[in-house]
Structure 1
Amino acid sequence: MLVFILIAVFLMLMMLLRNKHYLLFSFMILLCSILPAYWRFETQPLTTQTMMFVAILVALAVIGRVPFASIPGVQAASFVIILGGISLGPELGFVTGATTALVSNMFLGQGPWTPWQMFAWGLMGLSAGFIGMTKLRKSLVFMIIFAGLWGFFFGWIMDLWYALAYVSPITPKSFILAFVSSFLFDLSHAISNVVLIGLLYRSWGKLFMRLDRKYNFLPTK
């Protein structure tokens, strides 16, 4: 409730200031959205095995992002984050995605885009976690479509940041142009997600199950 109240206050302040300082308030809203997930991560009982698995997934996602940084949109980080959300659930999926952005940007460069990437990848892990709680996780076709769509959703969230930060004046037309200009990058992200999910989703899922039977690191959802 406190988070919703704070977000409502920030939105009211933006209206009263006639949309001035919108970038500052955007960061405040993002922080309000991200902090509860980390708070839940710190307070809920987790085994050492589960925490180690989260750390391993983050490391794999970082490794899957950094080497492909020179190829816009192409990366393996999103594939790992989706698998993490499916396996760990929505809360740890969010933490895995958000932490991946923060850690990988230590190598690629931090900036005002980092909170937005944390939020976007966090939502990717969160939504994958909810899918993991249903029978849809067993459908390869559905997971391919899900991963492909998130290639575009991620790009649209980052386009929103770009438009707020650099486009002036802000009009519906300028927003549309910002979204259209990144289409090829978003398409590359979507294709890389689809290919990796199509080729590796089931084999990695079976690997996680075998490891869980031996080390018991997956939380009960």
Structure 2
Amino acid sequence: MGRKYLFIILISLLGLAIYIVPFISMKGSILDPNAGFLSWGLIATVFVSFSVLGFFLEFERAATGAKEIALVAMLGTISALSRLPFASLMNFQPCTFFIICSGYVFGPMAGFMTASLTALVSNMFLGHGPWTPYQMFTWGLVGITAGWLRGLRLTGRKEIIVLAVFGFIWGWLYGVIINVWFWAFFVQPHTIVTYLLTLLNAVIWDGSHAVANAFFVSIFGARVIRTLERFKKRFYWKTGGVMADVTVPSSQTNANSN
């Protein structure tokens, strides 16, 4: 297993552990979410933020050049802007679809970075708050797992069906994870029952998200994926699992001009 994938797995597990801890009884510990010693919501937000920062630092270390950075910035901006016109439609929006396509075509790290930028940029218009790092991390998991689907070597209609089902499942799973921030900050006590009630309160919102993912993948998935793949083939070649810039030596350029 490459260093990059090991890092992704370890940081993802760290972030997920922060979500799981409130469900574990830690009576008497400073991490007891019901002890009142510190706000568990604040503690969790700090740790999730560090997890997201870890991905950014790893991407900066692993990025092969300006083209890859520009690519991720472009994908993240497109995804973020696609969220804004749909802001009033109860989470029926295409940005998760763009995150899935980005991760699927360009790999887990690009998928995570696109997802993080989606939340970071779009919330500049929709409002930042303690939910932002949770959105960055949870959408990032969507991008990571979409990148892993590439190993299945899907083609044709089967590819779109699998991605549509994947998007539908993640629409619900995203809600299961992201709703922890609201539960941690505003609901007391922190128990399984209160968490399930929090999920029940968001069932329409999460269902709309799931349907939107399946809809956009089914209608636009094939075209968007083919477009991204053409862009990938034009500017990058792959060696040893690392995306590298396609550059033309200056001597060859001069020869061609002559």
Rounded to whole Å, the distance in 1 between the matches of 2:195 and 2:232 is: 45
Q: CA offset at residue 136 of structure 1? A: 4.3
Rounded to whole Å, the distance in 2 between the matches of 1:214 and 1:173 is: 52
Q: Secondary structure at the match of 2:243?
A: coil
- Give the aligned CA root-mean-square deviation in angstroms: 2.7
Partner of 1:167: 187
Instruction: Name the aligned partner's letter for residue 142 of structure 1.
Output: V
TM-score using structure 1 length: 0.88
Rounded to whole Å, the distance in 2 between the matches of 1:101 and 1:76 is: 13
Q: CA offset at residue 130 of structure 1? A: 1.2
Q: Secondary structure at the match of 2:88?
A: coil
- Cα 1:54–1:5 change in 2 (3 A) is closer
Q: CA offset at residue 88 of structure 1? A: 1.4
Rounded to whole Å, the distance in 1 between the matches of 2:54 and 2:93 is: 28
**Following superposition of structure 1 onto structure 2, how do residues 57-72 of structure 1 map, counting pairs within 5 Å?**
57-72=75-90
Partner of 2:236: 216
Length, aligned pairs only: 218
Q: CA offset at residue 213 of structure 1? A: 3.1
Q: Secondary structure at the match of 1:150?
A: helix
Q: 5+ residue gaps in structure 1? A: none
Equivalent in 124, 127, 133 of residue 145 of structure 2: 127
Residue 126 of structure 2 is aligned to residue 108 of structure 1: yes
Can you list the C-alpha shifts for 1:126-162, whole angstroms capped at 9, x where unaligned?
Answer: 1111112332476221111100011111111221111
Rounded to whole Å, the distance in 1 between the matches of 2:44 and 2:170 is: 22
TM-score using structure 2 length: 0.76
Residue 159 of structure 2 is aligned to residue 139 of structure 1: yes
Residue 54 of structure 2 is aligned to residue 36 of structure 1: yes
Identical positions, percent: 31
Equivalent in 188, 200, 206 of residue 180 of structure 1: 200
Deviates more, 1:201-210 or 1:56-65: 201-210
Q: 5+ residue gaps in structure 2? A: 1-6, 245-258
Larger of the two Rg values belongs to structure: 2
Instruction: Name the aligned partner's letter for residue 51 of structure 1.
Output: I
Residue 67 of structure 2 is aligned to residue 49 of structure 1: yes
- Contact 2:77–2:117 (8 Å) recurs in 1: no
Partner of 1:150: 170
- Contact 1:83–1:128 (8 Å) recurs in 2: yes
- Cα 1:197–1:5 change in 2 (3 A) is closer
Can you list the C-alpha shifts for 1:14-62, whole angstroms capped at 9, x where unaligned?
Answer: 7612323211221122123212211111111423222222111111101
Rounded to whole Å, the distance in 2 between the matches of 1:5 and 1:200 is: 34
- Cα 1:71–1:217 change in 2 (3 A) is farther
Equivalent in 74, 97, 110 of residue 79 of structure 1: 97
- Contact 2:172–2:207 (8 Å) recurs in 1: yes
Rounded to whole Å, the distance in 2 between the matches of 1:207 and 1:95 is: 19
Greater helix content: 1
- Contact 1:89–1:133 (8 Å) recurs in 2: no
- Cα 1:200–1:134 change in 2 (3 A) is same
Q: Secondary structure at the match of 1:220?
A: strand
